[in-house]
Amino acid sequence: MSTTWILLIIAGVVLVWFVITYNGLTTLKQRAGQAFGDIDVQLKQRHDLIPNLVETVKGYAAHEKGTLEAVIQARNAAVASRDPAQMAQNEAQLQGTLGRLIALSEAYPDLKSNANFQALQGELSAIEDKLAAARRFFNNAVAEYNAAIRSIPAVLFAGAFGFRPQSFFDVGEGARATLDVAPSVKF
């Protein structure tokens, strides 16, 4: 076998290896993008639910104007978010204001027993569960993608072909716990 054939075989193996690695990175990047789209869908559903929740609370707690305005401002900031880091920060703020809004029901027994408020609170809870699952899926997809672009052999060319590390979607521990607090029972 001549040297030319050996070089052609080596070049062919390197080319196949490069194509397989590149396609794998592209697949992982696409999966992370799709997972972020799932988060976006859940956030839009939550954003659409918030005005109804605020309107219901307004009827019972009109003098809680500061809390209601804070929720609306946080919602508007969250809706305007575009990149994952900014979105996570604004969603954490929204989560905190929603927690204060839900807490108002403890101070207003009529609001707490209102069927519309209960239905909206149930919908919000269901959306939060779906959102938590979507965040876990996204963060897992980002972790796999980030690990792939940092591992050999991809690290040798990933940056040159536009494969950059992605940020996780983290709303922080405080915001995560805001709506998940179990009510206290006192006798």
In terms of average pLDDT, the best of 25-34, 62-71, 110-119, 149-158 is: 25-34
What CATH number has the domain spanning 3-176?
Answer: 1.20.1440.20
* Domain range list for the chain: 3-176
Which residue has better confidence, 152 or 63?
152
Task: Enter the tokens of residue 13.
Answer: 């193996």
What global pTM score does this model have? 0.76
Question: Residue written as tokens 């809870």?
Answer: 125
Give the tens place of pLDDT for each residue, 46-87: 999 999 888 888 877 767 788 888 999 999 999 998 888 888
> Dihedrals φ, ψ of 158, to 5°?
-55, -45
Give the tens place of pLDDT for each residue, 84-119: 888 889 999 999 998 888 888 888 888 878 888 888
Residues 6 or more apart from 18 whose CB is under 8 A from it? 157
Burial class (CB in 10 A: 0-12, 13-18, 19+), 60: middle
Distances (CA, A) of 177 to 28, 107, 132, 169, 182: 30, 20, 11, 16, 10
